[in-house]
């Protein structure tokens, strides 16, 4: 059994490749159902954001084809993915998911959005039935680690996010943002955060377009703005000086021909598009037009790097917290994995103790309370000493050693057969292809 994490992120993978690998939220249930069918998979979760696509899995014998799953979903060859892929196992995989949830691996060091994204991915996997057992311990532990990092360090001392970096970029481009109109395309949290930051920088009016008009109206009302029906987006877009796009669309909403129309209607007054969506909502060709400036998620990295430098002083403290929590997690999991067999072993010896006391009680005659307590203490002490060594050995063993010891103890003492949770019914896999049975967790 192994915990594995494979993925790509902003630091080593182009936006173009991340777009191919990205899994829109609407298609996440479908992707999780496909993941469920991977042979050898016990548990799995997918995390897809504008900066990363990661697959966290618990597998039998490292034999689940996780790379193949990502390539099939993206429609790419392994040779296209392999140079950019990172992979972690067991303790390093746990450390990585703790660091991601704590925003120590983010483009914007200390940003607050990633924790919510990890929580939503966990919720989707729970709903799809691809998480159970160990990951029901691992992910809540990751959330607790993230909370502790933010409360014990200053990496989250101010509200920093991709949206705020985008707003800083817009303010830097315009200088003064007085009398500027902002168009939000998409009514999600990122759009709301971007609007708040831009209004703080001096933007004066807000337009909102979203496929669900009610959502557009709700967001526009927060800023005393105006909602635009999504079908009227291209007709109204020229009214905006700054366009922030953050939708789950799988193809570009704005293309070069749209830009030519906008410039004509604006009499060549410049427009700025800040595209914080993956896949991109704005075709890069739009930025080739004179008077239109396009910035995508990777263009924000330089500003994000500046922010990271300011917060690196807190990194050492945060990393120490993560390392300590990795150790704590494994200590708890080791005890949990050994617990079912330890309980069965304790019950086995307790039954023998009770049986022997019952058998010999007639020969002991009538005992007073002090004598009864002495017999109870003596026999319990003997049982505890007999099972102490195997209990300690089980708790301290690694996965392979624990599996062997569990099966040996179950055979020696005829304990109940250990079982392991599976994502797929046994009948769906031919007998000759079924992996060997694992011990109880």
Q: pLDDT by residue (tens digit) across 288-297?
A: 999 999 988 8
Q: In what order do the strands lie in the sheet with 2-9?
A: 41-48, 52-59, 2-9, 86-89
Q: Does domain 162-295 have CATH number 3.20.20.70?
A: no
Size of the chain in residues: 441
Least confident of 152-156, 296-300, 414-418: 414-418
pLDDT, mean over the chain = 84
Of the spans 162-171, 312-321, 399-408, which averages the highest pLDDT?
312-321
* Burial grade of 132 (CB within 10 A; 0-12, 13-18, 19 or more): middle
Instruction: Determine the pLDDT at residue 276.
Output: 87
Long-range contacts of 304-312 (CB under 8 A, 24+ apart): 304/107, 304/108, 304/109, 304/162, 304/165, 307/108, 307/109, 307/110, 307/160, 307/165, 308/108, 308/109, 311/109, 311/110, 311/154, 311/155, 312/109
pLDDT band at 430 (very low <50, low <70, confident <90, very high): very low
Q: What is the rounded distance in angstroms from the CA atom of residue 191 to the CA atom of residue 276?
A: 9
Close Cβ partners of 352 (under 8 Å, ≥ 6 residues apart): 383
pLDDT band at 281 (very low <50, low <70, confident <90, very high): very high
Q: What is the rounded distance in angstroms from the CA atom of residue 177 to the CA atom of residue 241?
A: 10
Residue 237 annotated as catalytic: no
Instruction: Determine the pLDDT at residue 122.
Output: 96
* Greater model confidence, 17 or 417: 17
Which string of DSSP letters, residue by residue, matches 126-162?
HHHT---TTHHHHHHHHHHHHHHHHHHSSTTSS---H
Shortest CA distance to 260 belongs to which of 284, 292, 282, 231? Answer: 292
Shortest CA distance to 183 belongs to which of 238, 241, 243, 229? Answer: 243
State the CATH class of domain 2-159+315-325.
Answer: alpha beta
pLDDT band at 440 (very low <50, low <70, confident <90, very high): very low
Least confident of 79-93, 252-266, 310-324: 310-324
* Greater model confidence, 314 or 384: 384
Of the spans 112-126, 384-398, 407-421, which averages the highest pLDDT?
112-126
pLDDT at residue 283 is higher than 90: yes
**What pLDDT, in 10s, does the model give residues 113-129?**
899 999 999 999 999 99
**Catalytic choice (38, 50, 71, 237):** 50
Least confident of 378-387, 408-417, 427-436: 427-436
Instruction: Determine the pLDDT at residue 34.
Output: 93
pLDDT band at 302 (very low <50, low <70, confident <90, very high): low
Least confident of 36-50, 249-263, 328-342: 328-342
Instruction: Determine the pLDDT at residue 269.
Output: 86
Mean pLDDT confidence for 102-122 = 88
- Token pair of 355 as six digits: 């049986």
Instruction: Determine the pLDDT at residue 421.
Output: 40
Instruction: Determine the pLDDT at residue 181.
Output: 93
Domain boundaries of the chain, sorted by first residue: 2-159+315-325, 162-295, 336-433
Instruction: Determine the pLDDT at residue 439.
Output: 31
pLDDT at residue 398 is higher than 70: no
**What pLDDT, in 10s, does the model give residues 151-203?**
888 776 654 667 777 777 777 777 777 889 999 999 988 888 888 888 888 88
* Greater model confidence, 424 or 5: 5
**What pLDDT, in 10s, does the model give residues 355-387?**
988 888 888 888 888 988 898 899 999 988 988
Q: 441 near 138, Cβ under 8 Å?
A: no
Mean pLDDT confidence for 377-399 = 83
Instruction: Determine the pLDDT at residue 185.
Output: 95
Q: Show the 3-state SS of 4-35.
A: EEEEEECCCCCHHHHHHHCCCHHHHHHHHHHH
pLDDT at residue 54 is higher than 90: yes
CB atoms within 10 A of CB 245: 26
Q: What is the rounded distance in angstroms from the CA atom of residue 315 to the CA atom of residue 367?
A: 66
pLDDT band at 389 (very low <50, low <70, confident <90, very high): confident
pLDDT at residue 132 is higher than 90: no
pLDDT at residue 317 is higher than 70: yes
pLDDT at residue 52 is higher than 80: yes
């Amino acid at each position: 059994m192994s915990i594995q994490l494979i993925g790509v992120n902003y630091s080593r993978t182009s936006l173009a490749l991340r777009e191919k690998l990205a899994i829109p939220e609407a298609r996440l249930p479908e992707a999780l159902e496909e993941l469920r069918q991977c042979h050898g998979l016990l548990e799995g979760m997918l995390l897809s954001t504008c900066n990363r696509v990661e697959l966290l899995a618990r597998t039998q014998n490292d034999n689940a084809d996780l790379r193949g799953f990502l390539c099939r979903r993206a429609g790419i060859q392994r040779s296209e993915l392999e140079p950019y892929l990172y992979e972690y196992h067991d303790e390093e995989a746990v450390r990585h998911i703790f660091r991601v949830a704590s925003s120590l691996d983010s483009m914007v060091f200390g940003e607050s959005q990633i924790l919510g994204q990890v929580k939503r991915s966990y919720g989707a996997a729970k709903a799809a039935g691809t998480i159970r057992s160990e990951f029901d311990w691992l992910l809540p532990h990751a959330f607790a680690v993230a909370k502790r990092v933010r409360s014990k360090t200053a990496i989250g001392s101010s509200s920093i996010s991709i949206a705020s970096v985008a707003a800083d970029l817009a303010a830097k481009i315009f200088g003064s943002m007085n009398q500027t109109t902002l168009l939000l395309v998409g009514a999600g949290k990122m759009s709301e955060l971007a609007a708040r930051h831009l209004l703080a920088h001096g933007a004066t009016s807000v337009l909102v377009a979203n496929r669900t008009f009610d959502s557009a109206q709700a967001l526009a009302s927060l800023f005393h703005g105006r909602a635009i029906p999504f079908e009227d987006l291209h007709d109204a877009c020229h009214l905006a000086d700054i366009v922030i796009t953050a939708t789950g669309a799988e193809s570009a909403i704005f293309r070069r021909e749209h830009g030519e129309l906008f410039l004509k209607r604006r009499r060549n007054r410049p427009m700025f598009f800040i595209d914080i969506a993956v896949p991109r909502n704005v075709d890069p060709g739009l930025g080739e037009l004179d008077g239109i400036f396009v910035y995508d998620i990777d263009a924000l990295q330089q500003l994000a790097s500046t922010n990271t430098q300011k917060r690196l002083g807190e990194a050492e403290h945060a990393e120490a917290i993560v390392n300590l929590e990795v150790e704590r997690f494994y200590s708890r999991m080791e005890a949990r994995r050994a617990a079912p067999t330890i309980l069965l072993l304790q019950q086995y010896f307790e039954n023998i103790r009770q049986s022997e006391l019952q058998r010999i009680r007639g020969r002991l005659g009538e005992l007073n309370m002090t004598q009864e307590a002495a017999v109870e203490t003596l026999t319990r002490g003997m049982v505890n000493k007999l099972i102490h060594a195997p209990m300690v050995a089980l708790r301290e063993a690694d996965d392979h050693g624990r599996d062997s010891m569990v099966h040996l103890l179950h055979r020696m003492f005829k304990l109940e057969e250990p079982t392991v949770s599976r994502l797929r019914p046994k009948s769906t896999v031919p007998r000759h292809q079924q992996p060997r049975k694992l011990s109880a967790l």
